[in-house]
Chain A
Amino acid sequence: EVQLVESGGGLVQPGGSLRLSCAASGFTFSSYSMNWVRQAPGKGLEWVSYISSSSSTMYYADSVKGRFTISRDNAKNSLYLQMSSLRDEDTAVYYCAREHDEGGGTSMAHFDYWGQGTLVAVSS
């Protein structure tokens, strides 16, 4: 059974840092690209970051570029999101999501499994 379990969320002051983790199990983690998606309270889904299976390619939303860093450890079946210079508007539930490629690259991919999310609250 595929499982994605996020951890590391919590309350942090503006300007602070936090590292989120996503533990994967039930599939060959090293074969899949992964993403972080967030959802502010009462708002819609916002894509945050992408990392390819080998870590050769990373993408970021403009809203977090230069402040967040995505990484992975395939030996530990884990995905990470290092967040720094946090702002009030970064307050959200952060989900990790597995990206399934239908053979046409990202253009034909989708998020087939999601974690349960971890809440990050940025407030003084």
Chain B
Amino acid sequence: QSVLTQPPSASGTPGQRVTISCSGSSSNIGSNAVNWYQQLPGTAPKLLIYSNNQRPSGVPDRFSGSKSGTSASLAISGLQSEDEADYYCAAWDESLNGWVFGGGTKLTVL
């Protein structure tokens, strides 16, 4: 029952392109920037994409983000085994006066 909705799982083979969706509402994604975090097994989350489509230094350009209306998506091209992780979208929610996260998407590289 997360405020932002993500598919619980996604998968792809090495080299493929996968996308992960994130759906919200006018009080969060619709009016604020979307950020994406990657959490490798057993580690703390790491910033992957910020302000809808910006990559922090050190993040490969295989990762990209986009936003339209009250939805956002994360795309990973040239899938690699090390991309196997949990991915979370997040945004500030003006109605709740707090940060909201998606439930997370577990990406499996087949």
The residue from A44, A46, A106, A114 contacting B92, defined by CB atoms under 8 A apart: A106
Interface residues on A, range: 20 to 34
Expressed in whole angstroms, the Cα–Cα distance for A110 and B103 within the complex equals: 17
Complex Cα distance, B32 from A109, in Å, reads: 9
B74-109 contact mask (Cβ, 8 Å, vs A): 1 or 0: 000000000000101010101011111111100000
Whether the Cβ atoms of B101 and A114 lie closer than 8 Å is: no
Q: Which A41-98 residues have a C-beta within 8 angstroms of B?
A: 44-47, 50, 59-62, 95
In the complex, whether A21 has a CB less than 8 A from a CB of chain B is no
Residues of A96-124 whose CB lies within 8 A of B: 100, 102, 104, 106-117
Size range of the chain B interface in the assembly: 20 to 34
Whether B33 lies near A60 (C-beta < 8 A) is no
A59 neighbours in B (Cβ, 8 Å): 97-98
**CB-CB nearest in chain B for A45:** B101
The answer to whether the Cβ of B56 comes within 8 Å of any Cβ in the partner chain is yes
B2 near A50 with CB under 8 A, answer no
**Contact, CB under 8 Å: A110 / B104:** no
Is A112 within 8 A of B50, CB to CB?
Answer: yes
CB distance from A50 to the nearest CB of B (A): 7
Which chain B residues (43-58) contact chain A, with CB distance < 8 Å?
44-47, 50-51, 56
A109 adjacent to B45 (CB under 8 Å): no
B interface with A by C-beta (< 8 Å): 2, 31-33, 35, 37, 39, 44-47, 50-51, 56, 86, 88, 90, 92, 94, 96-104
Q: Point out residues on A near B: beta carbons under 8 Å.
A: 35, 37, 44-47, 50, 59-62, 95, 100, 102, 104, 106-117
Besides A110-B90, A111-B45, A112-B50, 6 more A-B contacts (Cβ < 8 Å) are: A44-B2, A45-B88, A95-B44, A106-B92, A107-B31, A109-B33
